[in-house]
Amino acid sequence: MTNPLLESPPLPRFDAIRPDHIAPAIEALLAEADTAVKRAETVSPVTWASFVEPLDDATERLGRAWNQVGHLNSTVNTPELRAAYNAALPKISRFHSTLQQNPALYAQFKALAAAPEAAGWDAARRRTVDNALRDFRLGGAELDTADQARLAEVQQTLAELGARFSEHVLDATDAWAYVTEDAAELAGLPADVVAQCRASAQKAGVDGWRLTLQMPCYLPVQTYADDRGLRERLYRAYGVLASETGPAERDNGPLIEQILALRAEQARLLGFASFAELSLATKMAATPDEVLAFLRDLAARAVPHARRDRGELETFARDELGLDSLEPWDLAWASQKLRQARYAYSEQEVKAYFTEPKVLAGLFDVIHDLYGLRVLPDTAPVWHEDVRFYRLVDADGRLVGQFYLDLYAREGKRGGAWMDDCRNRRQRSDGTLQTPIVYLVCNFGRGVDGRPATFTHTEVTTLFHEMGHGLHQLLTEIGELSVAGINGVEWDAVELPSQFMENFCWEWDRVEAMTAHVDTGAPLPHALFERMREARNFQSGMQTVRQLEFGLFDMTVHAAAEPPADGIMAVIERIRDEVAVNRPPAWHRFPNQFSHIFAGGYAAGYYSYKWAEVLSADAYAAFEEQPDALGATGARFRGEILSRGGSRPALENFRAFRGRDPEIDALLRHSGMAA
């Protein structure tokens, strides 16, 4: 039997990979990587060609196969695929733990750093070796044997717990549905959402309309459903996902306690006072106190605006909507009504103009105008019929990179939006160039009844955001795997290119070009866009403090030497005392769904969104300052930030582009919170 995970085709064979391929492929590739590691331990003399490149070859083959398995597990999850993934996960984790602790490899890297050839290295190779030596220390290479064994056990368990956390959220989301045959309950919902609910019911073999907790249904219900009971029903179900109120086997509460305890132990083993200190060892921010001070400084600026936003909403809800109390399930609905009353437009009105073909064309035009590159349709084996594939070429038609686009929500697909690396750029010793490939994944509603999908402006912004991450990976000009693209980039700077791209969703020429009404084909009227601009910072204070609440909670629980004795809910309630203006009910279990920090890469790093927003707003200000030099400024942004990958510190990249250190002024101005 041929195994697509063991082949080396130009593109992954997503149409051919089956769960029973995973175990034999991972076993074979682990054996291959182990052999390469053993050779590398004793190779002499230690040179880039004799040591680094063969090691990269073997570990890249393993990493690429595992990446494909993980991607399928996130986008087309099935019980069989999940079982195969979870069976292989401990072996992968064990391999990487062992690699990071390998004393012979550590010694070889030290020898390489001291070798005569090191004097002639470029920045990428120097950074590669510096990072490797740091990662050996952070991986436990300097610990005694007993502590190394315990650290490896902790890391393996953490990987398994993170996977289970994510599975619980996915399963709890997919398990819940509400079916109604009463059309009156759906009053206020957009027609396309009602049609999707009808299609969901038909697919499930039931009459009426089937509502779910997936975002293309949940968010419109909270925002537009006039039936207060319906809003409350879905809010309550979503608020306790993966908690003690559901099946015990899907409760993430115990997992959170275990994760925090193991992370604290991991930090202690490596000589750090807390997991936050360990996490920051590879970031721009130096200490937890620096991060907390940054977040609280921003909170001091934002909380007065947030309180004003809340007060205005309460008054409007009482006087205009007849709500004596503003409940959590009223917030989005009342806010939408206030937005419409104040600015004479609704998100739903705007959504009809953002049709998928026009949005994609507009996005691709921005890429062309900034960087002189064209996006062209391409073909590849895909994991679902929804998926499309594109190539990115320069003015001479040369291939720069390729990307998959998977836009729609569906059962078995993890929620949220993300970019991931399928294959990184690499300059091989034989002179051949491996071009990068990325996945761009969203969870938007699909078109129904033969009509194209339409996106809210927020969803358009999300798409641009993920494309910004993709361009960071695709436009790298670094040839060393470990510092190409986003590899080696400090985590609190990795959101700079993504948040930067969001700004183009607010330029009139761009918006006009990427809109065509789903019924008439007319572009968005300029008067309507002006009302959108006036409303851009509507409730920005409330939105900002919500993000600060998450960042403060994340850093607080991870900056402690031990998990909180009174439980994580007590911690988040204390944070809410400090910054929240919209307080969820006591029964709400937000941490149980906080996959960013308990199942993703943002542990002790959620502050990165706001930290990087300072960088991105300041970077975009350079384009505002020279509106007639888009191509030239874009070329500098590409050359000094996107192309550099992790080959030099992010702060150096920013200084090279901007000519100075970052300043917060542009962020405050863009958010409507400038003095």
Give Cα 104 to chain centroid, integer Å.
35
Whether residue 650 is contained in a domain is answered as: no
Assigned token pair, 652: 């150096």
Nearest CA among 583, 524, 509 for reference residue 347: 524
CATH number (domain holding residue 91): 1.20.1050.40
pLDDT tens-place string over residues 590-626: 999 999 999 999 999 999 999 999 999 999 999 999 9
**SS3 state at 355:** strand
Nearest CA among 76, 121, 92, 118 for reference residue 26: 92
**For residue 1, what pLDDT is reported?**
64
Looking at the structure, tell me whether residues 465 and 404 fall in a common domain.
yes
Kindly report the average pLDDT of the chain as a whole number.
97
Nearest CA among 153, 146, 53, 136 for reference residue 100: 136
Looking at the structure, tell me whether residues 323 and 367 fall in a common domain.
no
The C-alpha angle 648, 649, 654, rounded to 5 degrees, equals: 105
Average pLDDT over residues 461-477: 98
Q: Which residue pairs, CB below 8 angstroms and at least 24 apart, start in 570-576?
A: 575/549, 576/549
Average pLDDT over residues 467-496: 97
The residues, ordered by sequence, that sit 6+ positions from 462 with a Cβ below 8 Å of its Cβ are: 417, 442
Where among 170, 186, 216 does a domain terminate?
170
pLDDT tens-place string over residues 284-320: 999 999 999 999 999 999 999 999 999 999 999 999 9
CA distance 395 to 368: 9
CA distance 290 to 8: 46
Tell the residue number behind the tokens 């030239």, with chain if given: 632
pLDDT tens-place string over residues 342-366: 999 888 899 999 999 999 999 999 9
Instruction: At 434, give phi and psi (nearest 5°).
Output: -95, 120
Whether residue 589 is contained in a domain is answered as: yes
Looking at the structure, tell me whether residues 310 and 420 fall in a common domain.
no
- Percent of the chain at pLDDT exceeding 90: 97
Assigned token pair, 667: 């962020």
Whether residue 660 is contained in a domain is answered as: no
pLDDT tens-place string over residues 212-228: 999 999 999 999 999 99
Exposure letters 363-386 (e unless 16+ CB within 10 A, then b) = bbbbbeebbebbbeebebebbeee
CA distance 384 to 394: 29
CA distance 249 to 243: 10
Whether residue 10 is contained in a domain is answered as: no
Please give the sequence-ordered ranges of beta strands (E in DSSP) within 353-444, or none if there are none.
374-378, 388-393, 399-408, 418-423, 426-427, 433-434, 437-444
**For residue 429, what pLDDT is reported?**
83
Looking at the structure, tell me whether residues 68 and 182 fall in a common domain.
no
CA distance 78 to 83: 9
Distance separating the N- and C-terminal Cα atoms of the chain: 67
CA distance 528 to 524: 7
Rounded to 10 deg, the angle between the 608-625 and 288-319 helix axes is 80
Average pLDDT over residues 495-499: 97
Give Cα 425 to chain centroid, integer Å.
20
Whether residue 292 is contained in a domain is answered as: yes
CA distance 33 to 86: 20
Looking at the structure, tell me whether residues 514 and 471 fall in a common domain.
yes
Looking at the structure, tell me whether residues 277 and 231 fall in a common domain.
no
**For residue 141, what pLDDT is reported?**
97
Exposure letters 401-434 (e unless 16+ CB within 10 A, then b) = bbbbbbbbbeebbbbbbebbbbbbbbbeeeeeee
Query: Does residue 274 contact residue 264 with C-beta atoms inside 8 Å?
Result: yes
pLDDT tens-place string over residues 508-560: 999 999 999 999 999 999 999 999 999 999 999 999 999 999 999 999 999 99
Dihedral sign, CA of 658, 661, 663, 667?
positive
CA distances from 530 to 341, 440, 533, 627 (A): 15, 30, 5, 19
CATH number (domain holding residue 466): 1.10.1370.40
pLDDT tens-place string over residues 382-403: 999 999 999 999 999 999 999 9
Whether residue 123 is contained in a domain is answered as: yes
Tell the residue number behind the tokens 């509106």, with chain if given: 627
Query: Does residue 297 contact residue 536 with C-beta atoms inside 8 Å?
Result: no
Where among 170, 193, 214 does a domain terminate?
170
**For residue 161, what pLDDT is reported?**
98
Average pLDDT over residues 644-673: 95
The C-alpha angle 378, 381, 384, rounded to 5 degrees, equals: 105
Q: Give how many domains the chain has, as a whole number.
A: 4
Whether residue 436 is contained in a domain is answered as: yes
Looking at the structure, tell me whether residues 190 and 162 fall in a common domain.
no
Please give the sequence-ordered ranges of beta strands (E in DSSP) within 87-192, or none if there are none.
177-180
The residues, ordered by sequence, that sit 6+ positions from 186 with a Cβ below 8 Å of its Cβ are: 180, 194, 197, 209, 225, 227, 230
* Local structure of residue 381 (DSSP, 8 states): -
Query: Does residue 429 contact residue 52 with C-beta atoms inside 8 Å?
Result: no
CATH number (domain holding residue 295): 1.10.1370.10
Where among 470, 500, 524 does a domain terminate?
524
Which residues are annotated as catalytic? 466
Assigned token pair, 204: 């499930």
Whether residue 53 is contained in a domain is answered as: yes
**For residue 52, what pLDDT is reported?**
96
Provide the domain limits for residue 124: 19-170
Looking at the structure, tell me whether residues 360 and 483 fall in a common domain.
yes
The residues, ordered by sequence, that sit 6+ positions from 11 with a Cβ below 8 Å of its Cβ are: 380, 381, 402, 437
Give Cα 238 to chain centroid, integer Å.
21
CA Rg value for the chain = 25
CA distance 271 to 138: 9
Looking at the structure, tell me whether residues 150 and 287 fall in a common domain.
no
DSSP 441-464: EEEEPPP-TTPPPB--HHHHHHHH
Query: Does residue 249 contact residue 148 with C-beta atoms inside 8 Å?
Result: no
Looking at the structure, tell me whether residues 233 and 186 fall in a common domain.
yes
pLDDT tens-place string over residues 20-62: 999 999 999 999 999 999 999 999 999 999 999 999 998 999 9
Residue 207 above 90 pLDDT? yes
**For residue 674, what pLDDT is reported?**
85
Nearest CA among 121, 2, 149, 98 for reference residue 52: 121
CA distances from 213 to 202, 240, 244, 582 (A): 17, 12, 18, 21
Looking at the structure, tell me whether residues 193 and 154 fall in a common domain.
no
Assigned token pair, 26: 């991972």
Looking at the structure, tell me whether residues 420 and 320 fall in a common domain.
no
Residue 675 above 90 pLDDT? no
Tell the residue number behind the tokens 């609190």, with chain if given: 492
pLDDT tens-place string over residues 550-573: 999 999 999 999 999 999 999 999
